[in-house]
Structure 1
Amino acid sequence: MTAEDLQPYQRIVQDVKDQVRLGRLQSNDKLPSTRELADHYGVAPGTVQRALADLRTEGVVYSHQGRGSFIRESALDAVADPTSQAIKRLEEKVADLSERLERLEAGDGTRS
């Protein structure tokens, strides 16, 4: 599916996710206002609201009435592709195994 096949709100959702994935948007970064986003994407404010609702549902952003929308700390996990998620889990397991091996080699006798 190309960007042209997406609804306008879906393009906004995809763009925000891409910006998180690329590190341009990070945890607790504030998104521009609904009006600014509408102007930027050339859409109606309702379209932006629908995109923000989807992003909230997917765990990418959180909103505070009167303060705006912000990137969640867990946003990168929410937008990561399955391969990246699998690699992250493997890295965590390798780190855990390395730590256990170091304890065994040190002879401290601690068992997990």
Structure 2
Amino acid sequence: MSSETVQPYQRITQDYTEKIRQGKLSAGAKLPGIRELSEKYGVAAGTVQRALTELRNAGLIYSHQGRGSFVSESAKKSVEDSSALAIRALESRVAELEARLDRLEEGHDG
């Protein structure tokens, strides 16, 4: 996906997912507030809210009204699990493409 096709909320979501994956943010770490994130990314508060919703839906963070958003206990495992699933899906797709290529080459060799 090129950077032009990534929506601003997706960029925030990807950045924080990567920070969690790399261990830069550990369980219980507090995320910056909406205003701070809005300024950092140059986006509206609603865009930050959408990114936080995505992170919450993925199980990476939890929020407390009036206190902020925090990295969940299971966040790193969730990121690792989703990465493993993505790798398995890619491996499966590569195997399918290899099989198709083999069939095509057999058809041309005969």
TM-score category (smaller protein): 0.7 to 0.9
Alignment of 1:20 onto 2:20: yes
Gap regions ≥5 residues in structure 1: 87-112
Gap regions ≥5 residues in structure 2: 89-110
* Aligned residues with identical type, % of pairs: 54
Give the whole-Å Cα distance in 2 for the aligned partners of 1:3 and 1:21. Answer: 20
SS in structure 1 of the partner of residue 38 of structure 2: helix
Report the equivalent of 1:49: 49
SS in structure 2 of the partner of residue 62 of structure 1: strand
Shift of 1:77: 1.4
Which aligned segments of 4 or more residues in structure 1 are displaced greater than 4 angstroms?
none
Give the whole-Å Cα distance in 1 for the aligned partners of 2:32 and 2:53. Answer: 15
Shift of 1:63: 0.1
Aligned partner letter, 2:19: Q
Give the whole-Å Cα distance in 2 for the aligned partners of 1:78 and 1:22. Answer: 13
SS in structure 2 of the partner of residue 47 of structure 1: helix
Q: TM-score, normalised by structure 2?
A: 0.73
